[in-house]
């Protein structure tokens, strides 16, 4: 069943601000490496939105600008190891007119 709306899950922020998409979600929605998503990331009281591409190993990388914004709201140097709420929204491609 391809992803038509959105899917949400919780993930641990890994080194270099990477987030692992769970295997069951990748299999269920047939997500392919290189797909681009609109991502909503919630860490504590901070919430940021950005576009991300899934790598071959099923991870998303949080852009440095977004990471700095989330760090402003917390008093930590890094959020590595923290649990984040993640929501992935599908991006629909417009059909090209010929």
Q: How far apart, in whole angstroms, are the C-alpha atoms of residue 82 and residue 51?
A: 21
Q: Is the pLDDT of residue 98 over 70?
A: no
pLDDT tens per residue, range 9-67: 999 999 999 999 999 999 999 999 999 999 999 988 889 999 999 999 999 999 999 98
Q: Is the pLDDT of residue 95 over 90?
A: no
Q: In the chain, what are the domains?
A: 6-90 (2.40.30.100)
Segment holding 36, helix H or strand E: strand 36-43
């Amino acid at each position: 069943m391809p992803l038509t709306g959105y899917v949400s899950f919780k993930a641990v922020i890994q080194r270099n601000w990477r987030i692992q998409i769970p295997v069951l979600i990748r299999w269920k929605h047939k997500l392919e490496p290189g797909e681009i998503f609109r991502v909503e990331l919630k860490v504590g009281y901070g919430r940021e939105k950005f576009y991300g591409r899934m790598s071959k190993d099923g991870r998303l990388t949080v852009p440095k600008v977004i990471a700095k914004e989330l760090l402003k709201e917390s008093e930590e140097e890094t959020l590595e190891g923290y649990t984040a709420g993640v929501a992935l929204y599908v991006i629909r491609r417009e059909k090209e007119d010929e």
